[in-house]
Structure 1
Amino acid sequence: MKAMRSVAERANTIPGEFVLRKNLATSPISEIYLCTLNNIKAVVRFDAPCASMLAIHRANEVIVLNSIQDLQLSPRVLYHNQLEGVLIWKFIAGEEFSFDLAHQRESYLQSLGKGLKLIHSQATPPECLDIFSNSLSLYQSLLQEAPSKSLVERAFSLYEALSNDGSNYVLSHNDLNRSNLLWCNKVYFLDWEYSGPNHPCFDIASLAKTYNLMPAEIAYLADGYDGDHELFKIDTLNQWMQFISYLDEIWEIAVTTIQAQLKIKID
């Protein structure tokens, strides 16, 4: 297997005046840096080899981001090169979304619910791929051995039961954790690599799980969302959160499995 080019080598392929600066994060999937592109403060993501073996699709991510730019809730893409695994977006100043002070919780959660509703109300681009379903299929193929197979079966059985409730699928972020939410007078949603159609409860339950929301706080989120309160039923969201816990565990096992496969191919 041909090794992916280094960060420095790929940085040299970026047109214009590009300056690589501080490393912000490193994961099995990518390396993220602060940078400037043509004197614009930006963030660049360089894919790791593991990313190419997941069901994510970088061109799809750009399609989604471009389709929701008018909402002003997400980064603006400045440059992308799918072959080199490079994506650059304009830097957004802010801090991790939180509500440490009690008086902030209601207004922050309503703002978060309002932002999520805007995304869910946006038309899914016709060319958008179903990254979520594709990811589930990949995990199922990778995790064929017990006990992982049993975990996948439990998770998929629960997802099928939850998702077949007659709700329309919506454009969803599909990865709403703390690191992907930024606050700067309003909420911004970052890292759209898993975005695509999904049941609206997946994003809602992801927020409830990420912030360990109590029923009263979920009600604030629902007020901001200003939609079908059936989506915010506590018992239903608890089941969705259980599915998300399964999925987090499955993702970790899948990435570890892919890394092992890559090592064998390179060796």
Structure 2
Amino acid sequence: MAFPTSCLAHLPVHGVWKTHPIGHDLANCTWRIENGEHQYIVKQYSHDAAFGRQTGDTIQLDALLAEQGIAPAVVYADEMTGVTVQEFLTGDVVASIFDPIQRAEQLAEAQLQVHQLGVDVRPWSLSERVQAYCNALEELKPGRGREARSDCESYANLFSAWEHGPRVFCHHDLSAEHVFFRPELKIIDWEYAGYGHPAFDVASTIVINDLYDDEIDTFIETYNQSAKHMIDREGLRDWIRLVALINRIWFQLQEALEAAEAEKREQKATAADSEQTTTA
């Protein structure tokens, strides 16, 4: 994905900007830009339908969370193109904490604060979102799509528990790299956030950060000290399996979309070469 240069005209300061890619997948691309004095983060969301999102919802969510002070300030946003420009954070991230037990404690405290948020956003269904993954995957890789849908059917009880169980605001991608704990708590990368089951969100955090048993024990103990909905270690095992399944489907979809886009680029290049040959 090419850098969205049109956003530069909307920045509060101007100059010659250098762009540095810092993240790329089919769901979004991210750049750090700097002009020697100022730095910003530029993000562009894409393939919303394939990833079960409503166009513009993520942009609106970024702004709502920035207003609550837990996410970076939004400098510019365009819902139609999926482009947002945010402040560049320079604090310490939880991933920089050397002691894994302290990291687990900080992650649990951040998770608690997320679960205590009240955000006015459109609710979404985990089952419907994962079915969107499966549908998009089946269009590109029919065998894999059907297999993914079949695998999901064996977790029908957990999908139902997600829909009808306790509801809190969840991040769903709480990597230690996404949590700035100094000088104040700020969290980035909210594109999968929304109201959901707290145990699913905790399981997501455990899987994303690859926590070991003693770290999981510390996380759950810290979380349960102030949580409205207690997390049971035994019950968490099934949620972790569901998270692992959804992550696998997501990565398969990402791989299939990348292959399809690469094929389109190759066909376009071949057509251009053919046109040049004919003209010559």
Cα distance in 1 between the residues matched to 2:84 and 2:184: 24
Amino acid at match of 2:148: L
| Corresponding residue of 2:118 | 123
| Corresponding residue of 1:244 | 243
Residues 92 and 148 of structure 1, relative CA distance in 2, 3 Å threshold: same
Gaps of 5+ in 2: 269-280
Aligned residues: 257
| Corresponding residue of 1:193 | 191
Residues 57 and 36 of structure 1, relative CA distance in 2, 3 Å threshold: farther
**Alpha carbons 1:174, 1:203 under 8 Å: kept:** yes
The 3-state SS of whatever aligns with 2:10 is coil
**Alpha carbons 2:170, 2:198 under 8 Å: kept:** yes
Q: Which has the higher contact order (CA 8 A, sep 6+)?
A: 1
Shift of 1:109: 2.7
Amino acid at match of 1:65: D
Cα distance in 1 between the residues matched to 2:29 and 2:81: 13
| Corresponding residue of 2:57 | 60
| Corresponding residue of 2:256 | 257
| Corresponding residue of 2:275 | none
Amino acid at match of 1:123: G
- Give the alignment's TM-score, normalised by structure 1: 0.78
Instruction: Give aligned-pair identity as a percent.
Output: 16
Of 77-86 and 50-59, the range deviating more from structure 2: 50-59
Of 220-229 and 166-175, the range deviating more from structure 2: 220-229
- Give the alignment's TM-score, normalised by structure 2: 0.75
**Alpha carbons 2:173, 2:205 under 8 Å: kept:** no
Residues 55 and 9 of structure 1, relative CA distance in 2, 3 Å threshold: same
Instruction: Tell me whether 1:141 sits opposite 2:141 in the alignment.
Output: no
Shift of 1:114: 2.2
Residues 25 and 67 of structure 1, relative CA distance in 2, 3 Å threshold: closer
Cα distance in 2 between the residues matched to 1:43 and 1:27: 16
Shift of 1:70: 5.8
Shift of 1:133: 4.5
Gaps of 5+ in 1: none
Counterpart selection for 2:101 from 102, 105, 126: 105
Cα distance in 1 between the residues matched to 2:49 and 2:229: 38
| Corresponding residue of 2:6 | 10
| Corresponding residue of 1:227 | 227
The 3-state SS of whatever aligns with 1:110 is helix
Shift of 1:43: 0.6
Shift of 1:80: 0.6
| Corresponding residue of 1:43 | 41
Residues 204 and 128 of structure 1, relative CA distance in 2, 3 Å threshold: same
The 3-state SS of whatever aligns with 1:43 is strand
**Which protein shows a greater Rg?**
2
